[in-house]
Homo-oligomer: A and B are copies of this chain.
Amino acid sequence: MDVERLEEEAARILPAEVRDFVAGGADDEVSLAANVTAFRRRTLAPRVLTGASVPSAATMVLGCPLAAPVLVAPMGMQRLVHPDGEAATSAAAAANGLGFVLATGASVPIEEVGGPARLFQLYLLDDRGVSDDLVRRAVDAGYRAIVLTVDAPVIGNRPRDRRTRGGTAWRNANFEPYPGIDAEHHAYVSRIRADITWADVDHVVATAGVPVVVKGVLRPDDAVRAADHGAAGVVVSNHGGRQLGRAAVPIDVLESVVDAVGGRVAVLLDGGVRRPADVLTAVALGADAVLVGRLAMWALAAGGEAGVTEVLGDLVTGIHRTMTLLGARTLNDLTGVVTPTER
């Protein structure tokens, strides 16, 4: 299914404020749109006659074996769009051999989400004990890495949410054990720390006991700094265009980040990934894997676990088909297939 049709379908089902909450971006939504169009400007020059009829997109990312270099991005409150929420999405990812990142603000608790390639996205709250305990619970529950989000010291200005008056109130599922945190969504968000620094990365790295990934990096120097502070990876991301309306576009800055870190850490990319060609373009330019967000959310809204399973399955099938068309037996064979960008 095309992402456009899927979004239309989801839009028919969802209340306007939920749809807008998922679809919207920050400020004048320049980056929201540019995340997608930046991929459309990049073309691919296949290698022919390589015999890549049965390609493998398999890869190992942050210690997780994946059938394709794709994870579902952390998105909170998935039960807003379907009663099965994150449990359905993670099961669908697992069914396709893909990774899944559970959000701090999830609507299903850490312990009730399954799958072999789960990661846990962490916001640092003003109560360090709570943050530390979230990490402990995630590690105890078998999550393979902590994805520390660093691009949301404050929440971006999202005009669509202001227009719908933040009608997306919801109780977050991970805060029941902590009487000090009001689990109502807006209350919880107000507890996210705005003053995080690299010292906080040091703390998480030192205490997590699993690899730590820094999510929300758009600069080569910050990626190098993440490596210096012991991170196992970075996610080049502008938070889906939701934080800063004019944020740099991940696929536009990816190569500079890859060059800067020189293989010291894994480099993931998030933002604007909708189609098999997007995934492979990012990998060809040096990404170890990509995250898909809204695509999974629309599929969840439209069809629950079965819907996400089908859509992610289509994505994997498409990745294989596209690799065959590109003449790539493995992801390593993608080097050099992106033509120099014009326009």
Contact = CB atoms under 8 A, between A and B. Distances in A.
B342 A28 contact: no
A244 B277 contact: yes
Contact of A150 (B48, B150, B193): B48
B154 A324 contact: yes
A49 B246 contact: no
Interface in A246-290: 246-249, 252-253, 275-277, 281
A146 to B, nearest CB: 15
A281 B154 contact: no
A31 interface: yes
Contacts of A195: 51-54
9 contacts: A28-B40, A28-B275, A34-B43, A48-B214, A51-B197, A52-B195, A54-B194, A151-B325, A154-B325
Interface of A: 2, 27-28, 30-31, 34, 39-40, 42-54, 150-151, 153-154, 156-157, 159, 193-198, 200-201, 214, 216-219, 221-222, 225, 243-249, 252-253, 275-277, 281, 318, 321-322, 324-326, 339, 342-343
Given A47-B222, A49-B200, A248-B339, 4 more contacts: A46-B151, A46-B244, A48-B150, A48-B219
